[in-house]
Amino acid sequence: MSFFESYDPVFNSYVLGNAPVKQHATGFDWVEGPVWFGDADCLLFSDIPNNRILRWTPDIGISTYRAPSNFANGHTRDHQGRLISCEHGSRSVTRTEHDGTITTLADGFEGKRLNSPNDVVVKSDGSVWFSDPHYGIMTNYEGHKSPSELPCQVYRIDPETGSVEAMVRDMNCPNGLAFSPDESKLYVADTGRMFSDDPKHMRVYDMTSGTPANGRHFHTIEPGASDGFRLDTDGNIWSSAGDGVHCISPDGKLLGKILVPELVSNVCFGGRGKQQLFITATTSIYSIKLNRQGVQTP
């Protein structure tokens, strides 16, 4: 059985022919937001409809990290190793302190409530960037059905003042996001408004004096859409897709695919040397070892 489809010879050097796609656990409803904790040798991820954050530990398996989780979705870590989470239920971005207490970093903008923060990254200056589509408040499945008070935008939380600023305003529904390794570019997936025929594609922005500019089409995932993605140290994008994980070059070319038997929602690099790609896909978590290294995170 082949786990790969190659569209460019360089992709063959990124994958290891005898390294399988492994299913580590299954039986969930919709898993999202994988984040690797190397110091604890575990993966955290969200099972959104079941309102919980779970932990997978090699040789041990699944345990509950937090329940209820306020319908948490995407996660990352800051430069102090703390968990940063997007919560649909509280319509906020939170930080879990080292003592386990939870600090709200953002829950509104210009006097209005956020929609349902979805995915999050931390820049080298400590600023927290997150997407705020409306998916978590459109139904009661992944949160609490409520009207939107704000457009769907990408925001930045200042690390010193805690102020919130809208940074990307030209999308229908921003979703996954990540910076290039040198932080000269910001990639954002636009997965469109729920119950609409909006185009689904990835956009790229040039970072000019800390501000995204010159937004333009970067790549369209087929089949499916780009939900969540992460980059390797050479700037290749490893994105969720309808048939697995797609590897896209920095110039927007599809290099190859890792085939996964479920709809993929998100990915992250972890494991020894950050060369293991963890994959959340509908009801299961998977991983595969690559000849690639993910951009370093805490």
Residue 17's pLDDT band (cuts 50, 70, 90): confident
Q: Which of 32, 134, 28, 39 is nearest to 77 (CA)?
A: 39
- Averaged pLDDT, 280-297: 94
Instruction: Give per-residue pLDDT as tens, 137-179.
Output: 999 999 999 999 999 999 999 999 999 999 999 999 999 999 9
Does 35 score more than 80 pLDDT?
A: yes
> Residue range 112-131: average pLDDT?
98
Residues 6+ apart with CB under 8 A from 265: 30, 31, 32, 227, 228, 240, 280, 281, 282
Helix (H, G, I), strand (E, B) or coil at 73: strand
pTM exceeds cut of 0.95: yes
What pLDDT is recorded for position 223?
A: 96
